[in-house]
Each structure stands twice: as C-alpha cells, then as structure tokens.
Amino acid sequence: MHDRRAILARLPKTDRVLQEPALERSGWRRAVVKRRVQVELQRLREEVLGGRLREVPDAAGVARAVAATLERWARPRPRRVVNATGVVLHTNLGRAPLARRAIDAMVDASGYCDLELDLVSGKRGSRFDELRPLGRAVLEADDVHVVNNNAAALLLACTVLGGEGGVALSLGQMVEIGDGFRVATMAAAGGCRVVGVGSTNRTHPQDFAGALQGTLPECEGRPVRAVLWVHRSNFRQEGFVGEVSLRDLAEQAHAAGVPLVADLGSGSLGTGLSAHEPTIADYLSQGADLVLCSGDKLLGGPQAGIIAGRADLVERCRRHPMARALRPDKTTLAALHATLVAHGQEGVPSLPLHTAVGIGVDTLEARARSVVEALGRAAARVIPTRATIGGGSLPGDTLESRGVAVTVERVERAAAALRERDPPVVGRIEDGRLILDLRTVDPADDPIVVAALRSVLP
C-alpha cells in the first residue's frame, strides 16, 4: 500500500497538465479540457490503487492521452461502418441503411422547412399533414400516426386505450426484444396495467374472457379495456402449443366492446421480402384496430414508430399529451416520407434493405471471387454463408449468401483490427475463421473489404 501511495504521489496535478502545449492549443474550452483531465487522472489513480499500474505518465503523457480523446470527440458520431456480418437489419449497426432519396430528404429538411406551416394559406399546419394521406394510402389504413419508435407507439397506444382496466396480453406473447427490453414492461411504462392471460405455451378464448369480464383474479374486479397482440417476431414456439388466432381474438374483443392493438414490430409491407412475415394490411384485415410497427425494421426507413388503423383510435393517440413528448423530428419525418414513397411506387421498393435481401447469389459469388483474387492469398477463400434479416424479424429465416473466409492465427485479434480501421469493417467469427459476408456490403465498398483483409493477412 505504501508503495502505491508513492506511485500516486508522482501523478501530475490537474493544473500542471492543463499547461501542456497539446492542451493549451486544443481548441476546446478550458472547462471541458479540465474535466477530461480530471477523469483521466482519476482513471490512473484507480489503476494504481488496483495494483494494475506501477509507472504513471508525466504531465505531457497525460496531456497526450487527453488530446487524443478530444480529437476523437471532434469526429462525427455515430461513425459509418462496413457491415459484413450478413445481418441485414443489425440493431447494433443502425438497423436499416437509408435510401439515397431518404438521406437527401433529411438533408433538405435539416435547415428551415415547412414542418408546421401550410405554404398555401400561410397558416399554421401540423407536422403530420403531408405524411398522413400518403401513409393511409401506402399502409392501407384508415389513419396513421408517427412517433419516435415502436416502443413509443406501444407506450402511447396502451396508455391511451388501457384506461383504468389495462390491457390483456397472452403470456405466450410476452416477448423480450433485446437489451433486456420487454414488450409488457414498455406497455406498462405509462401506468397501464398489463394483465397476463393463459400460459406460456397455450392460451384459450376463455382465458381472455376472464380478462374481458374482469373475473380473473389479477383483474381485481376491473375488466381490461383493450386486448394486446404481440407478434413473436424474434422467436418461434413448437410442440404442445396453441393460441387464439388474431382473427378470433379480435372478434372476442369487439364482442366485449374493446379494441385490439397488434404490435407487429417488423413492419413488412409485403413487397420484395420473404412472404412469411405478416404485413400491416394483413393484421388490419384480420380485425386488429391498431397496428404498431418500427420504421427501421422491414419498412427499411428511419427509426420511427407507426400507429396505423381505426381513425378514432389513432386520433385519441394523436391528441394525448404524451404524443407531444414522443413526436418525431423534421428529419425523421422527411426520411419516412421518402421511404413511404418508395413503397408506394411500382415494383420492389428501391431501398437498400430490399436490395440487400434481393441480390442474387451469383452476383455475390462473383464479388466474393473478385475479393479473393484481389487478395491473392491461400488463406482467403470464397465460402457459402447464410445471411439473416435480423432486427428481430423472421427468426430462422436465412438467405443463401457468399462470404470471404480467412484463416489467420489470432482470429479475435484480426477481427478487432478490422473494427479499428477507417471505416471500420465488422465481420463475424465462425469455426475459428473470420468471415465477411458480402450480402450486407454495398458493392462500392468491396475495395474497402479487400484493403482491410490485406492488412490482417500475413
């Protein structure tokens, strides 16, 4: 301990570090630099006390570390990366890459724009005026409202419609979507009671009847005011399972005079993607009164939450004070508008998501060959891979793909080296090999993949 104290005594003082030329000319405000120096000194102190550091840097050394941090801060964040994971909608990598037209629309809207001004009358308008009619047509819904993400859509819909009795949700649909977030918890976050119904593997109409009549013990005499259906978007159940179909559940809810809210999550519109995923229109036609989905899953747009369905219920959501707290900004609305236009036009939507899903294996094979040829090393070869849509959509559904596999001595270290490049290249490790799947790589980035692999191959 005495030893550690002696080492600590050699740590430079904050003011001394601040006098170093590297920090005096950093271009950052002194208060900001000072805080960072304090954080760095504290970190060093803890390292020493923990016995992990026996030699402390001098003032110039601490200043260099702080200057490097400040330089890193000055660069735009989040950074662009090359996604070679083969996961098309990778939540950690920003989910859907936006279409050129969506990016242009965001840039255009980023200055002054007619967000809440009706240019014809010169009067105040609503930020949803332009999007609503387009959304109704493209999503085939009576009305549409937009919030920050699907979690916000769920929170808003359940808070508004749950009232004093809350909502009923099958225990078999109490989905956790990732990072510890659970649908039932998000639904309840605004004070809405969520009554779990049935059992994990089987739920019957009489279970819901108990919640709708308020006879389930959990109801404490108060019947639920809405029924929630959650699409099991990221897992499947097999074996001794059974649930009430969406159609039957909607009928049951309507007979009790309450609406059915369906959390679809993924938001496929049914064009250019695998047909297994239900669409918003499917859910509405099966009797859902409101359908909720993410803008950045199978819709292929920006992070947003869409509430589509019965006009009176959408209107109640729109008018609730919470809607103001959850409203999207101008750039999101611009990107979403452009994304909906792409969906409304003929053919496969011209969105990067649909391009990545639709590329033929022959094209991927040819690109993988070119990468391997350009490398000219025996350690790199073309391999068949399985890409996935990801983003909690279509579990178990994989896409045939092609990748470049490299065999290197220290594979974790090679993967880390690729992530440290500019731009970072993110792949995956499988069977001790580093694999870069080309389905999720923009063909224009293939040379970046080549250069990155060259840097880690012997």
Binding residues for ligand PLP (CB under 6 A):
149-151, 154, 175, 177, 183, 230-231, 233, 263, 265-266, 294, 305, 392
CB 79 within 8 A of CB 73: no
Tokens of 451: 């250069």
CB of 193 to ligand PLP, least distance (A): 19
Segment 359-365 long-range contacts (CB within 8 Å, at least 24 positions apart): 359/439, 361/400, 361/401, 361/402, 364/401, 364/402, 364/438, 364/439, 365/402
Nearer Cβ to ligand PLP (198/278)? 278
Cβ distance to ligand PLP smaller for residue 36 or 337: 337
Nearest-approach distance from CB 14 to ligand PLP, in angstroms: 42
| DSSP-based three-state secondary structure for 163 | coil
Min CB(303)–ligand PLP separation in Å: 6
Based on the number of CB atoms within 10 Å of its own CB, is 458 exposed (0-12), middle (13-18) or buried (19 or more)? exposed
Query: Of 274 and 370, which CB lies nearer to ligand PLP in the complex structure?
Result: 274
Nearer of residues 266 and 279 to ligand PLP, judged by Cβ:
266
- From the CB of 401, what's the least distance to ligand PLP, in Å? 23
Residue 234: which of 260, 265, 263 has the closest Cα? 265
Determine the Cα–Cα distance for residues 246 and 229; give it in Å rounded to an integer. 7
Report how far apart, in Å, the C-alpha atoms of 42 and of each of 36, 384, 435 are: 10, 49, 39
Rounded to the nearest whole angstrom, what is the least distance from the CB of residue 394 to ligand PLP in the complex? 11
Our CB check for ligand PLP shows the closer of 179 and 362 to be 179
Give the span between the Cα atoms of 181 and 80, in whole angstroms.
Answer: 26
Q: What's the closest the beta carbon of residue 266 comes to ligand PLP, in angstroms?
A: 6
Which is nearer to ligand PLP, 169 or 314 (by Cβ)? 169
Q: Which is nearer to ligand PLP, 223 or 305 (CB)?
A: 305
| Shortest-Cβ-distance residue relative to ligand PLP | 265
Q: What single-letter DSSP state applies at residue 300? A: -
User: For residue 216, what is the DSSP state?
Assistant: S
How far is the CA of 150 from the CAs of 19, 99, 291, 328, in angstroms? 49, 20, 10, 12
Q: How far is the CB of 265 from ligand PLP (least distance, A)?
A: 2
